[in-house]
Amino acid sequence: MKTVTEDLRTRLFIGGEWRTAEGGGTFEVLDPSTGNPIARVEDAGPADALAAVEAAHRAQPAWAALAPRERAEILHGCYEVMTERAEELAALISLENGKALADARGEVAYAAEFFRWYSEEAVRVVGDLSVAPGGANRIMVQHQPVGVAVLVTPWNFPAAMATRKIAPALAAGCSVVLKPAAQTPLTAYAVADILHEVGVPAGVVNVLTTEDPGPVVSAMLHDPRVRALSFTGSTPVGRLLLREAADQVLKCSMELGGNAPFIVFDDADLDDALDGVMIAKMRNGGQACTAANRIYVQHGIREAFVRGLAERMGALVLGPGTDPGTQCGPLVDEAGVRKVERLVGEAVAAGASVVVGGERPQRDGYFYPPTVLDGVPPAAAMAREEVFGPVAGVIPFGTEDEVVAAANDTEHGLSAYVYTRDLARGLAVAERLESGMVAVNRGLVSDPAAPFGGVKQSGLGREGGGEGLREFTEQKYVAVAW
Ligand code: NAD
Protein backbone atom coordinates (compact mmCIF):
# COMPACT_ATOMS: atom_id res chain seq x y z
CA MET A 1 0.00 0.00 0.00
CA LYS A 2 1.19 3.52 -0.82
CA THR A 3 1.65 6.09 1.93
CA VAL A 4 -1.12 8.65 2.24
CA THR A 5 0.71 11.64 0.85
CA GLU A 6 2.50 9.79 -1.96
CA ASP A 7 1.19 10.70 -5.44
CA LEU A 8 -1.24 13.26 -4.06
CA ARG A 9 -3.23 14.99 -6.77
CA THR A 10 -3.22 18.74 -6.14
CA ARG A 11 -4.06 20.16 -9.57
CA LEU A 12 -7.42 20.93 -11.16
CA PHE A 13 -8.89 18.01 -13.11
CA ILE A 14 -10.35 19.44 -16.32
CA GLY A 15 -11.05 17.59 -19.58
CA GLY A 16 -9.14 14.52 -18.37
CA GLU A 17 -5.96 16.52 -17.59
CA TRP A 18 -4.35 17.74 -14.38
CA ARG A 19 -3.95 21.49 -14.85
CA THR A 20 -2.64 24.49 -12.98
CA ALA A 21 -5.03 27.36 -12.26
CA GLU A 22 -5.07 30.15 -14.86
CA GLY A 23 -4.67 32.80 -12.18
CA GLY A 24 -1.56 31.05 -10.81
CA GLY A 25 -2.84 30.92 -7.22
CA THR A 26 -2.57 28.07 -4.73
CA PHE A 27 -3.66 27.46 -1.14
CA GLU A 28 -2.87 25.10 1.71
CA VAL A 29 -4.87 22.14 2.96
CA LEU A 30 -4.38 21.73 6.72
CA ASP A 31 -4.21 18.71 9.00
CA PRO A 32 -6.94 19.44 11.60
CA SER A 33 -5.11 17.47 14.27
CA THR A 34 -2.12 19.84 14.19
CA GLY A 35 -3.11 22.86 12.11
CA ASN A 36 -0.04 22.17 9.93
CA PRO A 37 -0.20 22.08 6.11
CA ILE A 38 -0.49 18.72 4.34
CA ALA A 39 -0.42 19.95 0.76
CA ARG A 40 -0.71 23.00 -1.45
CA VAL A 41 -3.45 22.83 -4.11
CA GLU A 42 -4.30 24.94 -7.15
CA ASP A 43 -6.81 27.73 -6.49
CA ALA A 44 -9.33 27.81 -9.37
CA GLY A 45 -10.91 31.00 -10.62
CA PRO A 46 -13.95 31.64 -12.84
CA ALA A 47 -11.91 31.08 -16.05
CA ASP A 48 -10.96 27.56 -14.88
CA ALA A 49 -14.57 26.89 -13.97
CA LEU A 50 -15.72 27.86 -17.46
CA ALA A 51 -13.01 25.68 -19.02
CA ALA A 52 -14.43 22.79 -16.96
CA VAL A 53 -17.96 23.59 -18.12
CA GLU A 54 -16.72 23.61 -21.72
CA ALA A 55 -15.04 20.20 -21.24
CA ALA A 56 -18.22 18.80 -19.64
CA HIS A 57 -20.37 20.25 -22.43
CA ARG A 58 -18.21 18.66 -25.14
CA ALA A 59 -18.12 15.27 -23.44
CA GLN A 60 -21.79 14.96 -22.51
CA PRO A 61 -23.46 13.94 -25.83
CA ALA A 62 -21.11 11.00 -26.42
CA TRP A 63 -21.44 9.88 -22.79
CA ALA A 64 -25.24 10.04 -23.00
CA ALA A 65 -25.14 8.10 -26.27
CA LEU A 66 -23.15 5.21 -24.77
CA ALA A 67 -25.27 2.13 -24.19
CA PRO A 68 -26.60 2.13 -20.60
CA ARG A 69 -24.90 -1.23 -20.09
CA GLU A 70 -21.52 0.31 -21.00
CA ARG A 71 -22.04 3.21 -18.61
CA ALA A 72 -23.12 0.72 -15.95
CA GLU A 73 -19.95 -1.31 -16.41
CA ILE A 74 -17.72 1.73 -16.04
CA LEU A 75 -19.58 2.68 -12.86
CA HIS A 76 -19.17 -0.84 -11.53
CA GLY A 77 -15.45 -0.57 -12.24
CA CYS A 78 -15.37 2.59 -10.11
CA TYR A 79 -16.98 0.64 -7.26
CA GLU A 80 -14.39 -2.12 -7.58
CA VAL A 81 -11.32 0.11 -7.70
CA MET A 82 -12.58 2.33 -4.86
CA THR A 83 -13.11 -0.79 -2.78
CA GLU A 84 -9.60 -2.07 -3.63
CA ARG A 85 -8.14 1.30 -2.59
CA ALA A 86 -10.32 1.60 0.52
CA GLU A 87 -7.44 1.74 3.02
CA GLU A 88 -5.53 4.35 1.05
CA LEU A 89 -8.62 6.55 0.65
CA ALA A 90 -9.64 6.16 4.30
CA ALA A 91 -6.19 7.26 5.44
CA LEU A 92 -6.42 10.33 3.19
CA ILE A 93 -9.90 11.23 4.50
CA SER A 94 -8.68 10.91 8.10
CA LEU A 95 -5.68 13.08 7.34
CA GLU A 96 -7.44 16.02 5.70
CA ASN A 97 -10.84 15.85 7.44
CA GLY A 98 -9.66 14.62 10.84
CA LYS A 99 -12.27 11.90 11.34
CA ALA A 100 -11.30 8.64 13.09
CA LEU A 101 -10.08 5.88 10.75
CA ALA A 102 -13.07 3.67 11.55
CA ASP A 103 -15.39 6.48 10.42
CA ALA A 104 -13.26 7.06 7.31
CA ARG A 105 -13.40 3.36 6.42
CA GLY A 106 -17.17 3.45 6.84
CA GLU A 107 -17.33 6.48 4.60
CA VAL A 108 -15.31 4.85 1.80
CA ALA A 109 -17.55 1.76 1.86
CA TYR A 110 -20.64 4.01 1.74
CA ALA A 111 -19.12 6.18 -1.01
CA ALA A 112 -18.17 3.19 -3.20
CA GLU A 113 -21.63 1.71 -2.74
CA PHE A 114 -23.15 4.61 -4.73
CA PHE A 115 -21.19 3.45 -7.77
CA ARG A 116 -22.45 -0.11 -7.29
CA TRP A 117 -26.06 0.97 -6.72
CA TYR A 118 -26.11 3.33 -9.71
CA SER A 119 -24.34 0.82 -11.96
CA GLU A 120 -27.41 -1.31 -11.28
CA GLU A 121 -29.86 1.60 -11.78
CA ALA A 122 -28.25 2.84 -15.03
CA VAL A 123 -29.89 0.03 -17.00
CA ARG A 124 -33.33 0.54 -15.43
CA VAL A 125 -34.32 4.04 -16.54
CA VAL A 126 -37.87 3.06 -17.39
CA GLY A 127 -40.40 5.37 -19.09
CA ASP A 128 -44.19 5.21 -19.46
CA LEU A 129 -46.65 4.56 -22.22
CA SER A 130 -50.38 5.03 -21.73
CA VAL A 131 -53.57 5.59 -23.68
CA ALA A 132 -54.85 9.18 -23.42
CA PRO A 133 -58.32 9.37 -21.78
CA GLY A 134 -59.89 10.31 -25.14
CA GLY A 135 -58.82 6.93 -26.49
CA ALA A 136 -57.33 8.10 -29.80
CA ASN A 137 -53.82 9.08 -28.75
CA ARG A 138 -50.88 7.71 -26.83
CA ILE A 139 -48.87 9.40 -24.08
CA MET A 140 -45.22 8.40 -24.16
CA VAL A 141 -42.82 9.56 -21.42
CA GLN A 142 -39.04 9.18 -21.52
CA HIS A 143 -36.38 10.23 -18.99
CA GLN A 144 -33.49 12.01 -20.67
CA PRO A 145 -30.24 13.33 -19.12
CA VAL A 146 -30.59 16.94 -17.98
CA GLY A 147 -27.13 17.85 -19.37
CA VAL A 148 -24.15 19.43 -17.62
CA ALA A 149 -24.53 19.44 -13.83
CA VAL A 150 -22.59 21.51 -11.30
CA LEU A 151 -21.98 19.62 -8.05
CA VAL A 152 -20.98 21.48 -4.88
CA THR A 153 -20.06 19.42 -1.82
CA PRO A 154 -19.11 19.94 1.86
CA TRP A 155 -16.03 18.78 3.80
CA ASN A 156 -17.73 16.47 6.29
CA PHE A 157 -18.02 13.43 3.94
CA PRO A 158 -15.47 14.37 1.27
CA ALA A 159 -15.81 11.07 -0.65
CA ALA A 160 -19.44 10.10 -0.09
CA MET A 161 -20.99 13.49 -0.80
CA ALA A 162 -19.12 13.52 -4.13
CA THR A 163 -20.00 9.97 -5.21
CA ARG A 164 -23.63 10.36 -4.08
CA LYS A 165 -23.88 12.96 -6.87
CA ILE A 166 -21.37 11.74 -9.48
CA ALA A 167 -22.69 8.17 -9.67
CA PRO A 168 -26.38 9.00 -10.38
CA ALA A 169 -25.40 11.85 -12.74
CA LEU A 170 -23.20 9.53 -14.80
CA ALA A 171 -25.81 6.76 -14.70
CA ALA A 172 -28.34 9.23 -16.13
CA GLY A 173 -25.96 10.26 -18.95
CA CYS A 174 -24.91 13.66 -17.57
CA SER A 175 -21.43 15.14 -17.34
CA VAL A 176 -20.39 17.06 -14.23
CA VAL A 177 -18.15 19.71 -12.72
CA LEU A 178 -17.53 18.96 -9.04
CA LYS A 179 -16.46 21.75 -6.67
CA PRO A 180 -15.50 20.17 -3.35
CA ALA A 181 -14.97 22.17 -0.14
CA ALA A 182 -11.61 23.92 0.26
CA GLN A 183 -10.89 22.05 3.52
CA THR A 184 -10.96 18.61 1.82
CA PRO A 185 -10.13 18.72 -1.90
CA LEU A 186 -7.52 15.92 -1.81
CA THR A 187 -10.10 13.16 -1.39
CA ALA A 188 -12.16 14.54 -4.31
CA TYR A 189 -9.07 14.53 -6.52
CA ALA A 190 -8.23 10.97 -5.42
CA VAL A 191 -11.74 9.90 -6.44
CA ALA A 192 -11.32 11.69 -9.80
CA ASP A 193 -8.05 9.84 -10.31
CA ILE A 194 -9.84 6.52 -9.82
CA LEU A 195 -12.61 7.43 -12.27
CA HIS A 196 -10.02 8.45 -14.86
CA GLU A 197 -8.11 5.21 -14.40
CA VAL A 198 -11.26 3.10 -14.69
CA GLY A 199 -12.12 4.71 -18.04
CA VAL A 200 -14.62 7.49 -17.43
CA PRO A 201 -14.03 9.50 -20.65
CA ALA A 202 -12.20 12.83 -20.47
CA GLY A 203 -14.52 15.73 -19.62
CA VAL A 204 -17.34 13.62 -18.20
CA VAL A 205 -16.11 14.34 -14.65
CA ASN A 206 -14.19 17.54 -13.91
CA VAL A 207 -13.04 18.59 -10.44
CA LEU A 208 -11.79 21.95 -9.28
CA THR A 209 -11.32 23.56 -5.94
CA THR A 210 -11.02 27.14 -4.77
CA GLU A 211 -10.65 29.16 -1.62
CA ASP A 212 -13.18 31.69 -2.93
CA PRO A 213 -16.20 29.63 -4.05
CA GLY A 214 -18.66 32.49 -4.64
CA PRO A 215 -17.41 33.79 -8.04
CA VAL A 216 -16.39 30.32 -9.27
CA VAL A 217 -19.78 28.71 -8.62
CA SER A 218 -21.62 31.81 -9.80
CA ALA A 219 -19.78 31.79 -13.15
CA MET A 220 -20.86 28.21 -13.73
CA LEU A 221 -24.48 28.77 -12.67
CA HIS A 222 -24.72 31.63 -15.17
CA ASP A 223 -23.21 29.71 -18.08
CA PRO A 224 -25.95 28.63 -20.51
CA ARG A 225 -24.25 25.25 -21.04
CA VAL A 226 -25.07 24.29 -17.42
CA ARG A 227 -28.54 22.82 -16.77
CA ALA A 228 -28.50 21.53 -13.18
CA LEU A 229 -27.14 22.25 -9.71
CA SER A 230 -26.76 19.63 -7.02
CA PHE A 231 -25.64 21.15 -3.73
CA THR A 232 -24.88 19.69 -0.31
CA GLY A 233 -24.00 22.09 2.48
CA SER A 234 -25.45 24.59 4.89
CA THR A 235 -28.92 26.10 4.57
CA PRO A 236 -27.66 29.73 4.26
CA VAL A 237 -25.37 28.88 1.33
CA GLY A 238 -28.13 26.71 -0.18
CA ARG A 239 -30.55 29.66 -0.15
CA LEU A 240 -27.95 31.84 -1.85
CA LEU A 241 -27.28 29.29 -4.59
CA LEU A 242 -31.00 28.74 -5.20
CA ARG A 243 -31.29 32.47 -5.87
CA GLU A 244 -28.33 32.31 -8.28
CA ALA A 245 -29.73 29.23 -10.00
CA ALA A 246 -33.01 31.06 -10.58
CA ASP A 247 -31.36 33.28 -13.21
CA GLN A 248 -31.13 30.34 -15.61
CA VAL A 249 -33.99 28.33 -14.07
CA LEU A 250 -31.64 25.42 -13.31
CA LYS A 251 -32.91 22.11 -12.05
CA CYS A 252 -31.84 22.10 -8.38
CA SER A 253 -31.29 19.41 -5.75
CA MET A 254 -30.42 20.80 -2.36
CA GLU A 255 -29.21 18.73 0.61
CA LEU A 256 -29.00 21.26 3.42
CA GLY A 257 -28.56 21.51 7.15
CA GLY A 258 -30.34 19.50 9.83
CA ASN A 259 -31.33 19.77 13.49
CA ALA A 260 -32.22 16.17 14.22
CA PRO A 261 -34.33 15.28 17.27
CA PHE A 262 -33.42 11.97 18.96
CA ILE A 263 -36.44 10.90 21.05
CA VAL A 264 -36.14 8.27 23.79
CA PHE A 265 -39.41 7.11 25.39
CA ASP A 266 -39.55 5.52 28.86
CA ASP A 267 -40.21 2.08 27.36
CA ALA A 268 -37.11 2.11 25.11
CA ASP A 269 -34.48 -0.61 25.47
CA LEU A 270 -31.84 1.40 27.33
CA ASP A 271 -28.77 -0.30 25.85
CA ASP A 272 -30.17 -0.14 22.31
CA ALA A 273 -30.98 3.55 22.73
CA LEU A 274 -27.47 4.22 24.05
CA ASP A 275 -25.90 2.30 21.15
CA GLY A 276 -28.10 4.27 18.76
CA VAL A 277 -27.37 7.68 20.21
CA MET A 278 -23.62 7.05 20.10
CA ILE A 279 -23.87 6.40 16.36
CA ALA A 280 -26.35 9.21 15.67
CA LYS A 281 -24.34 11.70 17.71
CA MET A 282 -20.74 10.65 17.26
CA ARG A 283 -20.29 9.57 13.63
CA ASN A 284 -17.56 11.95 12.36
CA GLY A 285 -17.25 13.41 15.86
CA GLY A 286 -20.74 14.91 15.52
CA GLN A 287 -20.02 16.60 12.18
CA ALA A 288 -22.90 15.09 10.19
CA CYS A 289 -26.07 16.70 8.83
CA THR A 290 -27.94 13.74 10.31
CA ALA A 291 -26.28 14.11 13.75
CA ALA A 292 -28.60 13.90 16.77
CA ASN A 293 -28.74 17.57 17.74
CA ARG A 294 -31.52 17.61 20.37
CA ILE A 295 -31.71 14.52 22.55
CA TYR A 296 -35.21 14.38 24.07
CA VAL A 297 -35.41 11.88 26.95
CA GLN A 298 -38.63 11.06 28.82
CA HIS A 299 -38.55 11.66 32.58
CA GLY A 300 -38.74 7.98 33.65
CA ILE A 301 -35.59 6.89 31.78
CA ARG A 302 -33.66 10.16 31.94
CA GLU A 303 -31.37 9.44 34.88
CA ALA A 304 -30.25 6.03 33.62
CA PHE A 305 -29.87 7.32 30.07
CA VAL A 306 -27.74 10.33 31.04
CA ARG A 307 -25.53 8.13 33.25
CA GLY A 308 -25.03 5.58 30.45
CA LEU A 309 -24.38 8.28 27.86
CA ALA A 310 -21.82 10.03 30.06
CA GLU A 311 -19.97 6.73 30.65
CA ARG A 312 -19.78 6.01 26.94
CA MET A 313 -18.87 9.54 25.89
CA GLY A 314 -16.28 9.89 28.68
CA ALA A 315 -14.58 6.64 27.62
CA LEU A 316 -13.96 7.72 24.00
CA VAL A 317 -10.32 8.20 23.01
CA LEU A 318 -9.70 11.68 21.57
CA GLY A 319 -6.81 11.99 19.12
CA PRO A 320 -5.70 12.47 15.52
CA GLY A 321 -8.02 10.61 13.16
CA THR A 322 -5.07 8.80 11.61
CA ASP A 323 -4.09 7.11 14.94
CA PRO A 324 -5.60 3.62 14.94
CA GLY A 325 -6.68 3.96 18.60
CA THR A 326 -8.63 7.20 18.06
CA GLN A 327 -12.41 7.10 18.47
CA CYS A 328 -13.06 10.84 18.25
CA GLY A 329 -10.92 13.03 16.01
CA PRO A 330 -10.56 16.82 15.91
CA LEU A 331 -13.14 19.14 14.37
CA VAL A 332 -12.35 20.31 10.86
CA ASP A 333 -11.15 23.82 11.71
CA GLU A 334 -10.81 26.52 14.35
CA ALA A 335 -14.19 28.04 13.44
CA GLY A 336 -15.83 24.68 14.20
CA VAL A 337 -14.29 24.56 17.70
CA ARG A 338 -15.25 28.17 18.44
CA LYS A 339 -18.85 27.48 17.48
CA VAL A 340 -19.04 24.44 19.79
CA GLU A 341 -17.47 26.41 22.66
CA ARG A 342 -20.00 29.20 22.17
CA LEU A 343 -23.00 26.84 22.09
CA VAL A 344 -21.85 24.97 25.23
CA GLY A 345 -21.14 28.26 27.08
CA GLU A 346 -24.57 29.65 26.23
CA ALA A 347 -26.40 26.44 27.21
CA VAL A 348 -24.59 26.29 30.56
CA ALA A 349 -25.33 29.96 31.23
CA ALA A 350 -28.99 29.20 30.50
CA GLY A 351 -29.07 26.41 33.10
CA ALA A 352 -27.71 23.19 31.51
CA SER A 353 -25.25 21.13 33.59
CA VAL A 354 -22.01 19.62 32.25
CA VAL A 355 -21.98 15.87 33.01
CA VAL A 356 -18.76 15.07 31.16
CA GLY A 357 -16.30 17.06 29.00
CA GLY A 358 -17.11 20.71 28.32
CA GLU A 359 -13.62 22.18 28.11
CA ARG A 360 -11.25 22.56 25.17
CA PRO A 361 -8.03 20.61 25.83
CA GLN A 362 -4.65 22.35 25.86
CA ARG A 363 -3.14 20.91 22.69
CA ASP A 364 -2.49 21.84 19.07
CA GLY A 365 -5.16 21.20 16.48
CA TYR A 366 -8.92 21.64 16.57
CA PHE A 367 -9.91 19.30 19.37
CA TYR A 368 -13.02 19.38 21.55
CA PRO A 369 -13.77 16.53 23.98
CA PRO A 370 -16.87 14.31 23.88
CA THR A 371 -19.30 16.22 26.09
CA VAL A 372 -22.70 15.56 27.69
CA LEU A 373 -24.96 18.36 28.91
CA ASP A 374 -28.12 17.60 30.86
CA GLY A 375 -31.17 19.84 31.20
CA VAL A 376 -30.54 21.90 28.05
CA PRO A 377 -33.34 24.52 27.89
CA PRO A 378 -35.39 24.13 24.68
CA ALA A 379 -34.74 27.79 23.83
CA ALA A 380 -30.92 27.42 24.03
CA ALA A 381 -28.99 28.21 20.83
CA MET A 382 -27.68 24.62 20.91
CA ALA A 383 -31.23 23.35 20.36
CA ARG A 384 -31.82 25.70 17.43
CA GLU A 385 -28.47 25.58 15.54
CA GLU A 386 -26.48 22.62 14.28
CA VAL A 387 -23.84 21.85 16.95
CA PHE A 388 -21.59 20.02 14.44
CA GLY A 389 -19.36 18.68 17.20
CA PRO A 390 -19.10 15.96 19.86
CA VAL A 391 -21.62 17.51 22.27
CA ALA A 392 -24.77 15.66 23.34
CA GLY A 393 -27.39 17.98 24.84
CA VAL A 394 -30.20 16.20 26.74
CA ILE A 395 -33.63 17.88 26.93
CA PRO A 396 -36.15 16.22 29.28
CA PHE A 397 -39.80 15.75 28.23
CA GLY A 398 -43.11 14.42 29.62
CA THR A 399 -45.65 13.47 26.96
CA GLU A 400 -45.70 12.28 23.37
CA ASP A 401 -47.60 15.35 22.18
CA GLU A 402 -45.14 17.63 23.95
CA VAL A 403 -42.09 15.99 22.35
CA VAL A 404 -43.58 15.90 18.85
CA ALA A 405 -44.39 19.62 19.07
CA ALA A 406 -40.88 20.41 20.34
CA ALA A 407 -39.20 18.22 17.71
CA ASN A 408 -41.12 19.95 14.91
CA ASP A 409 -40.40 23.45 16.23
CA THR A 410 -37.53 24.14 13.81
CA GLU A 411 -37.01 25.36 10.26
CA HIS A 412 -35.12 22.12 9.55
CA GLY A 413 -36.48 18.68 8.75
CA LEU A 414 -33.74 16.31 7.62
CA SER A 415 -33.60 13.30 9.94
CA ALA A 416 -35.15 12.23 13.25
CA TYR A 417 -34.74 9.24 15.57
CA VAL A 418 -37.29 7.51 17.83
CA TYR A 419 -36.61 4.81 20.43
CA THR A 420 -39.50 2.85 21.94
CA ARG A 421 -40.33 -0.85 22.38
CA ASP A 422 -43.86 -0.05 21.20
CA LEU A 423 -43.54 -0.23 17.42
CA ALA A 424 -47.07 1.13 16.88
CA ARG A 425 -46.12 4.24 18.82
CA GLY A 426 -42.78 4.48 16.99
CA LEU A 427 -44.48 4.42 13.60
CA ALA A 428 -47.23 6.85 14.69
CA VAL A 429 -44.63 9.33 15.95
CA ALA A 430 -42.59 8.83 12.74
CA GLU A 431 -45.65 9.91 10.75
CA ARG A 432 -46.09 13.04 12.87
CA LEU A 433 -42.48 14.21 12.66
CA GLU A 434 -41.78 16.88 10.03
CA SER A 435 -38.68 15.21 8.70
CA GLY A 436 -37.56 13.68 5.41
CA MET A 437 -36.15 10.62 7.18
CA VAL A 438 -37.03 8.93 10.46
CA ALA A 439 -35.09 6.10 12.10
CA VAL A 440 -37.15 3.93 14.45
CA ASN A 441 -34.93 2.05 16.92
CA ARG A 442 -31.90 2.72 14.70
CA GLY A 443 -29.10 5.25 14.99
CA LEU A 444 -28.32 5.44 11.26
CA VAL A 445 -30.55 6.26 8.28
CA SER A 446 -28.08 6.47 5.38
CA ASP A 447 -28.43 3.79 2.71
CA PRO A 448 -27.55 4.22 -0.99
CA ALA A 449 -30.75 2.37 -1.91
CA ALA A 450 -33.00 4.75 0.10
CA PRO A 451 -34.17 8.29 -0.74
CA PHE A 452 -32.02 10.61 1.41
CA GLY A 453 -33.18 14.19 1.86
CA GLY A 454 -35.04 16.74 3.90
CA VAL A 455 -38.29 18.70 4.13
CA LYS A 456 -38.76 22.35 5.11
CA GLN A 457 -35.43 24.24 4.93
CA SER A 458 -33.37 21.05 4.94
CA GLY A 459 -33.64 20.72 1.20
CA LEU A 460 -35.25 19.90 -2.10
CA GLY A 461 -35.07 16.57 -3.88
CA ARG A 462 -33.57 13.24 -2.85
CA GLU A 463 -30.23 11.47 -3.25
CA GLY A 464 -29.87 7.69 -3.38
CA GLY A 465 -32.47 5.15 -4.41
CA GLY A 466 -34.21 5.47 -7.77
CA GLU A 467 -35.07 9.10 -6.97
CA GLY A 468 -31.39 10.10 -6.93
CA LEU A 469 -31.05 9.30 -10.63
CA ARG A 470 -34.28 11.16 -11.52
CA GLU A 471 -32.68 14.36 -10.14
CA PHE A 472 -30.37 14.24 -13.19
CA THR A 473 -33.07 13.57 -15.79
CA GLU A 474 -35.85 15.54 -17.44
CA GLN A 475 -39.12 13.98 -18.48
CA LYS A 476 -39.97 14.19 -22.13
CA TYR A 477 -43.59 13.64 -23.08
CA VAL A 478 -44.17 12.63 -26.68
CA ALA A 479 -47.76 12.95 -27.86
CA VAL A 480 -48.29 10.16 -30.35
CA ALA A 481 -51.01 9.17 -32.71
CA TRP A 482 -50.51 5.90 -34.54
P1 NAD B 1 -21.06 25.21 3.48
O2 NAD B 1 -22.46 25.52 3.09
O3 NAD B 1 -20.25 26.25 4.13
O4 NAD B 1 -20.24 24.75 2.19
C5 NAD B 1 -20.70 23.75 1.32
C6 NAD B 1 -20.08 23.95 -0.04
O7 NAD B 1 -20.51 25.20 -0.56
C8 NAD B 1 -18.55 24.00 -0.04
O9 NAD B 1 -18.08 23.39 -1.21
C10 NAD B 1 -18.26 25.47 -0.05
O11 NAD B 1 -17.01 25.79 -0.61
C12 NAD B 1 -19.38 25.99 -0.92
N13 NAD B 1 -19.71 27.40 -0.69
C14 NAD B 1 -19.64 28.09 0.47
N15 NAD B 1 -20.01 29.37 0.27
C16 NAD B 1 -20.34 29.48 -1.04
C17 NAD B 1 -20.79 30.55 -1.85
N18 NAD B 1 -20.99 31.76 -1.35
N19 NAD B 1 -21.03 30.31 -3.15
C20 NAD B 1 -20.84 29.09 -3.66
N21 NAD B 1 -20.40 28.04 -2.95
C22 NAD B 1 -20.15 28.22 -1.65
O23 NAD B 1 -21.17 23.88 4.36
P24 NAD B 1 -19.98 23.06 5.05
O25 NAD B 1 -19.54 23.80 6.25
O26 NAD B 1 -18.96 22.67 4.03
O27 NAD B 1 -20.76 21.73 5.45
C28 NAD B 1 -21.51 21.61 6.58
C29 NAD B 1 -22.98 21.81 6.25
O30 NAD B 1 -23.40 20.88 5.26
C31 NAD B 1 -23.88 21.55 7.44
O32 NAD B 1 -24.90 22.52 7.48
C33 NAD B 1 -24.46 20.18 7.14
O34 NAD B 1 -25.69 19.91 7.78
C35 NAD B 1 -24.59 20.22 5.67
N36 NAD B 1 -24.67 18.86 5.10
C37 NAD B 1 -25.85 18.43 4.62
C38 NAD B 1 -25.95 17.15 4.11
C39 NAD B 1 -27.26 16.64 3.57
O40 NAD B 1 -27.23 15.61 2.90
N41 NAD B 1 -28.39 17.29 3.81
C42 NAD B 1 -24.84 16.30 4.12
C43 NAD B 1 -23.62 16.79 4.63
C44 NAD B 1 -23.55 18.08 5.12
Q: Looking at the predicted structure, is the pLDDT value of residue 40 above 60?
A: yes
Split at pLDDT 50, 70, 90, the class of 164 is: very high
Q: What is the 3-state secondary structure (H, E, C) of 77-102?
A: HHHHHHHHCHHHHHHHHHHHHCCCHH
Task: Give the distance (Å) from ligand 1 centre to CA of residue 268.
Answer: 35
- Atom nearest to 238 CA in ligand 1: 2
Question: What does the pLDDT look like over 264-303, one tens digit per residue?
Answer: 999 999 999 999 999 999 999 999 999 999 999 999 999 9
Question: What does the pLDDT look like over 297-338, one tens digit per residue?
Answer: 999 999 999 999 999 999 999 999 999 999 999 999 999 999
pLDDT of residue 378: 94
Does the Cβ of 358 fall within 6 Å of ligand 1?
no
Split at pLDDT 50, 70, 90, the class of 134 is: very high
Does the Cβ of 414 fall within 6 Å of ligand 1?
yes
The pLDDT of 79-101, averaged and rounded, is 98
Split at pLDDT 50, 70, 90, the class of 204 is: very high
d(CA 48, CA 438): 41
Does the Cβ of 101 fall within 6 Å of ligand 1?
no
Question: What does the pLDDT look like over 206-232, one tens digit per residue?
Answer: 999 999 999 999 999 999 999 999 999
Does the Cβ of 255 fall within 6 Å of ligand 1?
yes
Task: Give the distance (Å) from ligand 1 centre to CA of residue 257.
Answer: 8
Q: Whose CA is nearest to atom 13 of ligand 1?
A: 213
pLDDT of residue 1: 45
Q: Which domains does the chain have, with CATH numbers?
A: 12-256+457-480 (3.40.605.10), 260-446 (3.40.309.10)
Active site residue 431: no
pLDDT of residue 59: 98
Task: Give the distance (Å) from ligand 1 centre to CA of residue 402.
Answer: 32
Spatial CB neighbours of 61, under 8 Å, sequence gap ≥ 6: none
pLDDT of residue 54: 98
Does the Cβ of 353 fall within 6 Å of ligand 1?
no
Split at pLDDT 50, 70, 90, the class of 75 is: very high
d(CA 44, CA 161): 20
Q: Taking each helix axis from N to C terminus, what angle separates 299-315 and 270-282, rounded to the nearest 10 degrees?
A: 50
Pair 478, 140: CB distance under 8 Å: yes
pLDDT of residue 5: 66
Q: Looking at the predicted structure, is the pLDDT value of residue 198 above 50?
A: yes
Split at pLDDT 50, 70, 90, the class of 421 is: very high
Using the CB atoms, write b or e for 310-336: b if 16+ within 10 Å: bebbeebebbbbbeeebbbbbbbbeeb
Does the Cβ of 436 fall within 6 Å of ligand 1?
no
Split at pLDDT 50, 70, 90, the class of 7 is: confident
Q: Looking at the predicted structure, is the pLDDT value of residue 71 above 60?
A: yes
Question: What does the pLDDT look like over 351-390, one tens digit per residue?
Answer: 999 999 999 999 999 999 999 999 999 999 999 999 999 9
Q: Whose CA is nearest to atom 9 of ligand 1?
A: 181
Q: Looking at the predicted structure, is the pLDDT value of residue 473 above 60?
A: yes
pLDDT of residue 3: 57
The pLDDT of 65-76, averaged and rounded, is 98
Q: Whose CA is nearest to atom 21 of ligand 1?
A: 213
The mean of the pLDDT values for the chain is: 97
Range list of H helices, 433-480: 467-470
Q: Whose CA is nearest to atom 31 of ligand 1?
A: 234
d(CA 87, CA 91): 6
Active site residue 328: no
Using the CB atoms, write b or e for 10-22: b if 16+ within 10 Å: bbbbbbbebbebe
Does the Cβ of 471 fall within 6 Å of ligand 1?
no
